[in-house]
Amino acid sequence: MMEKNSEKTALDMPKRLSGPRRLIGDRGNHFLNKIEGETGANISACYQCERCTNACPVSVYMDVNPHQVIRYVQLGWREELLGSTTIWVCLSCETCTTYCPNDVDVAKTINHLRNMAFRSTVVPAEKILAIFHETFVNELQRFGRVNEFWLMGSLNRHPDVLKEKIKSGMLKEELALGLKMLRKGKLRLLPHRCTEMKKIREICRK
């Protein structure tokens, strides 16, 4: 992944755009209206000044830059957005939203696209991160609070994650780190269980 990014230059066309040409905005305004209505983000006001992309700490790792996300929403390119790495790489650090001169809530838009990706059939571009979010919520439903030891345990037990992490050698590193943290007393092995779990599970189903 890293090599691919370092080779990327400003003149290279993103892969999605070099394919067969699509009509711009061939779906009308439905997608724009839907997202604008659901998030309250001021998407139509964007004039592509790229301030969000320049402020973003992780825009180099994205295939669709934050200002392009807003443009794609205006054009209704749903599949390109849901299949992008952008929606998973985004850290929700809200820098883009803070510095937008037109009050476009870029972070909320990307976050909303992530919500949509969970409910869609599009395969997530960053598998482990997508699985992580799901595991986090599952853990939350189990105890009401999230215990780091149990969270990492259930994440690494997931077959897709396990396969990927063994291949990249990350599992070994993580186990060594876990052991170090355990020795320092940074891990709590027995989780606390909250009452009212029924209501919490109901919320998580929404």
Partner 1 sequence: MTSLALYPGCSLEGMANDYANSMTAVFDTLNVELVEIDDWTCCGATAAHSMSDAMAVLLPAKNLAAAEKMGLDIVSPCANCFNRLTYSRKMILKNIYDVPWRVTGKTQVHDMTRFLARPEMIAQIKQHVLMPLKGLNLVSYYGCQMVRPPKITGFTDYDNPQTTDMIVTALGANPLDWSYKATCCGAGIGIGRRDIQYNLSKRLIQKAFQAGAEAVIVSCPLCQNNLDMVQNEEGMPKIPVFYFTELMRLAFESEKCSVQYFRKHFTDPAPLLRKKGLAR
Question: What does 85-136 look like in DSSP terms, one character per residue?
Answer: SHHHH-----HHHHH-TT---HHHHHHHHHHHHHHSSSPPSSHHHHHHHHHH
Q: How far is the CB of 4 from partner 1 (least distance, A)?
A: 11
Instruction: Name which of 54 and 136 has its Cβ closer to partner 1.
Output: 136
- Token pair 């402020």 in the structure block, residue: 55
Q: Is 181 in the site for partner 1 (CB under 8 A)?
A: yes
Closest CA to 45 of 26, 32, 56, 58: 32
Closest contact distance (angstroms) between CB of 193 and partner 1 is 10
Q: Which of residues 87-116 bind partner 1 (CB under 8 A)?
A: 88-89, 91-95, 97-98, 107, 111-112, 114-115
Tokens coding 24: 């711009």
DSSP 144: S
Is 146 a binder of partner 1 (CB under 8 A)? Answer: yes
Toward partner 1, which CB reaches closer, 75 or 89? 89
Q: What minimum distance in Å lies between the beta carbon of 183 and partner 1?
A: 10
* Sites for partner 1 among residues 20-39 (CB under 8 A): none
Side chain identity, residue 121 = T
CA distance linking residue 43 with residue 103, whole number of Å: 9
- Using CB under 8 A, pick the residue from 1, 10, 11, 23 that binds partner 1: 1
Amino acid letter, 15: K
Q: Which range of residues in 18-26, 45-53, 64-72, 143-151 is near partner 1 by CB under 8 A?
A: 143-151
Task: Label residue 147 exposed, middle or buried (CB < 10 Å: 0-12, 13-18, 19+).
Answer: middle
Phi-psi region of 50 (alpha: psi -120 to 50; beta: other; left: phi over 0): left
Tell me the window of 43-51, 65-73, 74-82, 174-182 that interacts with partner 1 (CB under 8 A).
174-182
Q: Does 203 bind partner 1 (CB under 8 A)?
A: yes
Q: What H or E segment, with its residue span, contains residue 161?
A: helix 159-168
* Contacts to partner 1 by CB under 8 A: 1-2, 57-58, 61, 88-89, 91-95, 97-98, 107, 111-112, 114-115, 118, 126-129, 132-134, 136-137, 140, 144-149, 155, 170, 177, 180-181, 184-188, 192, 194-196, 199-200, 202-204, 206
